[in-house]
Structure 1
C-alpha cells in the first residue's frame, strides 16, 4: 500500500513539472521582442577641449565634442606637410632616396628637431621619418622648401589642399605648427585630413608606427604616447604648445577595422592618451559597420516627362557601408533625395541627388546618387506621349 502511494506521488510531481515546462514555453513563445539595451552616451571627457572619433571605412563621425572649434594645432600641422610631400612623391617631382639640401633656415628652425645640418646628407625618406616620429621642425622646413620652393609657397599649397579636402575650419600660416594667430584647425578637420592621408598614402603608417628613429647617430623616441599603450595603434601625430595643449591624432586597427581618434587641448600626455583610448574602446565596443549597397546598385529612379527615356535608374557609384550602433541597423532609414533643379539631358554617372541614411531622426551618412543610364531631352511629341503615360 505504501509503495502504491509513493508511485502516485511521483506521477503527480511529474505532472506538475510538465505543466510548469509547458507554461514556461508558452510564455517564451508570446512573440514579445527582447528589449535592446541602449547604447551608452559618448565619453564626456571634460578635460579635453575638443575631440572627434571617426570610422575610417565609412567616414562617419561616431562621437564628437566641439568638433568644429578652431584651435591651435601645434605639430598636427605637419600632417599637411606630410600629405603634400607624399603627393609630390606620387607625382614624381620627388623620390624617397633623393637627397635634399639643407638650408640655414631649416638648420636653425626652433623647437623640436631631427638635427639636420647643411652639408650633411639626408633623403626625403629620412626627412619624413624625422617629421613624423621626431616631429622635427627642421625636417618640415626642409621638405617645404623642396616641395614648394619656399616656406611661403608651400603654405599656399597647404591652404589650397585644405580647401580641396573640405577642411573648412582650417587655415595654415606656417609649415611646422609654431604658434601663430592665423594658424588653426579643428578636431574634425584633423580627422578628415588623417583619413585622406590613410586612404591615399597608407604607407605612412609604416613610419608612424615606429617607436623611435635614429638619424646621424641620434636616436629619438616617438612623441606619440598611444603607441606605448595600445598595440593596435599605428599612428599618426601629436602636437604640443602652450596654446594648443596636449593634442593627439591617433589611429588603430582592430580585427580589420580602423578608427581615427583626435583629441585637442588635453591637460597632459597621460590625460590625452586616456581620452584617446576611451574613444577607441567606445567606437569598437558599441558600433559596427554594415554593407548596404554595392557599386552600381540601383536605389531608385527618375521619372520625368522631359526625358527620353522617361525613366532613368538611379544608384550609387561606389559601394556603400554605414556605421551604426550595435543592434540598431534594422532601424536605419534610407531616403533618396533627387535634385529638384535637375535639367535634361542626363548623363550616365551624373550626380542627380543624394542618398540619406538616418537613425532616430539624425543623419548618419549622406552619399551621392548618380544616374546609372543616360537619358536625352524629349521632344515636344515625346513629352506629350510621356505625360499621357504618366496619367494612365
Structure 2
C-alpha cells in the first residue's frame, strides 16, 4: 500500500515546483549591443562617411579641416557644366573650340588640341575619368567665357550650396594657397551633384575612356576593387596627399566616402573600403514620417485656432545604428516669438532626432493650418477653459 504525502509535503512540492518553473522560464532581457566605433584610420588626415539619402554623417575625422583639394576641384567644374546644360546654354553634343590655354594646360590631360573636334560630353568624360586639366579649362572658358569668370561662378555656387569651408582659385585643382576645401564640403557637393545630375554616375563608373585613339584608365582605384563603387573623383598633389571621393550603391542604398590626405593610393583605397563596409554593416535607414504627417501641436490662447497642428513637408528617413531605432528620441522645438497671423505652411519649429544625447538630424516643421490672432472673446473663453 502506497502512503499519501502529508499536507506539508504537498505544500512544499507545489512551492518548489512554482519556484523552479519561474526560474526555468524567466525571460532574460537581451543586453543592448554598443555602437561599434568608426575605423580609426590613423594614416588619413581627414575623412567623412555620409548616407546619400538622409545626408547624415555616419563617421568623420577632422571633417572641417581645410585641405588642398587637388583634382577634387573638378567636381564643381562638372557641376557648373551640368547646370549650364540644364539651363540650355550648353548642349552635350555641341562641339567646343579649344583655346591654346586649354591645349597647353599643365598636369593630367585628355589630349585635346585646337582644331580637333570635341564636344561637351567628351570633355566631361575627359574631366572625370582622365582628370584632364585641359578639359577643365576648355569647359570653364565655354561656360563662363574665361577661367576667372568661371572661378567667380564656382565660389558663388559654393556659398549657395552652404560649402562654407571651400574656396576656389582655379578650375582644375593645381596647387594654390587660396584653393581649399574640407572632407565634409566634398561630401555635400557630391551629394548635390548626384541628386541634381544623376547622369554623372554613367561617366564616373567607367574604368577607362578613349579619346582621339588614346585610352586612359580611370584614376579611381576603388573602381577596380569594389563592384558596388560607381564614382566619383580622385585628387593628388604634394599638398593634398592621396584623395578619394567614392560613392557606392549596395542593395539600393548609396553611401559617400571622402578620404583626404592619404599616404598612397593603397592606403586611401583601404580607408574608403573600411568606411563603406562600416556604414553598410552597422547602420541602416528607417522611414519615420511621410510627407504631410502631423508631428506635434502648438497650443496658444492668442491663436485662432488655439490648437495648431505641426507637420513635415517631406518624407523623413533617418540613419541609425542597427538595433538602436527604439532608442531614438524625437522632440519638436517650437520657434520662439511666433506671432499671428501665420500662413499655412509657415515654418514654426524644428523636429530634432537624438540618440545618446547626440543630434542625428533636424527637420523644419510647418503649420498645417492658417492661424489668425484670436479676438478678446476667444482669448477670454480660452483662459476660462484653461482655468477649469
- TM-score category, normalised to shorter length: over 0.9
Deviations 1:148-207 (A, max 9, x none): 121111111111111111111111111111111111000000000000011111111000
Deviates more, 1:344-353 or 1:109-118: 344-353
Question: Which of the numbers 243, 252, 271 marks the counterpart of 1:256?
Answer: 252
Q: Does 1:181 align with 2:215?
A: no
Instruction: Please state if 1:386 is matched with 2:378.
Output: no
What TM-score does the superposition give when structure 2 sets the normalisation length?
Answer: 0.93
- Residue 282 of structure 1: aligned partner: 278
Runs of 4+ deviating beyond 6 Å: none
CA RMSD for the aligned pairs?
Answer: 1.6
Q: Tell me what 2:63 maps to.
A: 67
Residues 126-146 of structure 1 deviation map (CA, whole Å, 9 limit, x = unaligned): 011001000001111111111
CA offsets 1:214-259 (integer angstroms, 9 cap, x no match)? 0111110000000001000000000000000000000000111100
The residue aligned with 1:38 is: 34
Equivalent position to 2:190, from 182, 187, 194: 194
Q: 1:351 aligns with which of 330, 347, 354?
A: 347
Using the TM superposition, give the Cα deviation of residue 382 of structure 1 relative to its aligned residue in structure 2, in angstroms.
3.5
- Where do 5+ consecutive residues of structure 1 fail to align? 1-18
| Deviation of 1:26 (Å) | 4.8
Task: Find out whether 1:85 has 2:81 as its counterpart.
Answer: yes
Q: Output the CA distance in 2 between the equivalents of 1:88 and 1:27.
A: 72
Q: 1:110 aligns with which of 97, 106, 111?
A: 106
- Structure 1 pair 146/28, CA: closer, same or farther in 2 (3 Å)? farther
1:94 aligns with 2:90: yes
**Shift of the alpha carbon at 1:28?**
6.1
Q: TM-score, normalised by structure 1?
A: 0.92
Q: Distance in 2 between matches of 1:343 and 1:179?
A: 52
- The C-alpha deviation readout for 1:32-67, integer Å capped at 9, x for no partner, is 211132222100000000000000111100000000
| Structure 2 alignment gaps of length 5 or more | 1-15
Shift of 1:312: 1.4
CA distance in 1, matches of 2:95, 2:338: 53
Over 3 Å counting, the alpha-carbon distance change for 1:278 and 1:148 in structure 2 is same
Which secondary structure state, in structure 2, belongs to the residue aligned with residue 374 of structure 1? Answer: coil
Instruction: Give the match for residue 11 of structure 2.
Output: none
**Count of matched residue positions in the alignment of Structure 1 and Structure 2:** 372
